[in-house]
């Protein structure tokens, strides 16, 4: 993957982005307000680099944190927790099936971006989009979350 362009964000765009991320995933603005934000286009992805690190990416009109972004920013809102049996599937890019979900934030709505964490250590494994509301994910059948980015994929292994 090669960077096609890299441009620094204006202050107004940076503040809007921080507001959007904070409203969906929790308070990240205090950790990032003095950071340098850049947009970078890599293959088919639009990334936001924060102090040179790929912490956010864009799909359609939504900004999602990368798994590394979740780790660095400590985001813990819109979280779906999976059991240990689901971990090997999630880190290989599989969608998250409801039987493997042990907990989900009740405020998650269909189409919302979510963070998938594992139950034992609460470490992030993947980023996805909710296919059903969070309140319906546990004790249900079928898919609960569509996986978008996961540990070990090309975005995780990106070197800038």
CA distance 142 to 128: 15
Domain boundaries, the chain: 3-73, 79-150
pLDDT band of residue 15 (cuts 50, 70, 90) is confident
pLDDT at 29: 63
CA distance 115 to 157: 18
What class is the 3-73 domain?
alpha beta
Question: For residue 32, is pLDDT > 80?
Answer: no
What pTM did the predictor assign? 0.87
Query: Which among 20, 14, 59 is positioned nearest to 149, based on CA atoms?
Result: 59
CA distance 17 to 8: 13
10 Å CB burial of residue 109 (0-12, 13-18, 19+) is exposed
Contact 147, 113 (CB under 8 A): no
- Name, in order, each residue with C-beta under 8 angstroms of 90's C-beta and a sequence gap of 6 or more: 82, 96, 116, 118, 125, 126, 147, 150
CA distance 31 to 147: 27
* Mean pLDDT across 40-57: 85
* DSSP for residue 30: H
What CATH topology corresponds to 79-150?
2.30.130
pLDDT at 147: 95
Tens digit of each residue's pLDDT (9 = 90 or more) over 75-128: 888 999 999 999 999 999 999 999 999 999 999 999 999 999 999 999 999 999
Contact 118, 126 (CB under 8 A): no
């Amino acid at each position: 993957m090669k960077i096609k362009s890299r441009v620094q964000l204006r202050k107004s765009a940076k503040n809007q982005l921080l507001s959007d991320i904070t409203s969906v995933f929790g308070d990240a603005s205090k950790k990032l307000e003095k950071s340098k934000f850049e947009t970078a286009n890599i293959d088919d992805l639009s990334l936001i680099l924060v102090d040179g690190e790929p912490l956010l990416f864009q799909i359609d009109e939504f900004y999602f944190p990368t798994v590394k972004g979740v780790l660095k920013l400590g985001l813990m809102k819109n979280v779906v927790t999976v059991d240990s049996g689901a971990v090997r599937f999630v880190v290989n890019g599989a969608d998250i099936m409801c039987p493997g979900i042990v907990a989900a934030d009740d405020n998650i709505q269909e189409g919302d971006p979510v963070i998938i964490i594992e139950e034992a250590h609460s470490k992030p494994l993947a980023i996805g989009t909710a296919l059903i509301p969070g309140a319906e994910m546990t004790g249900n059948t079928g898919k609960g979350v569509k996986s978008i980015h996961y540990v070990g994929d090309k975005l995780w292994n990106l070197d800038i």
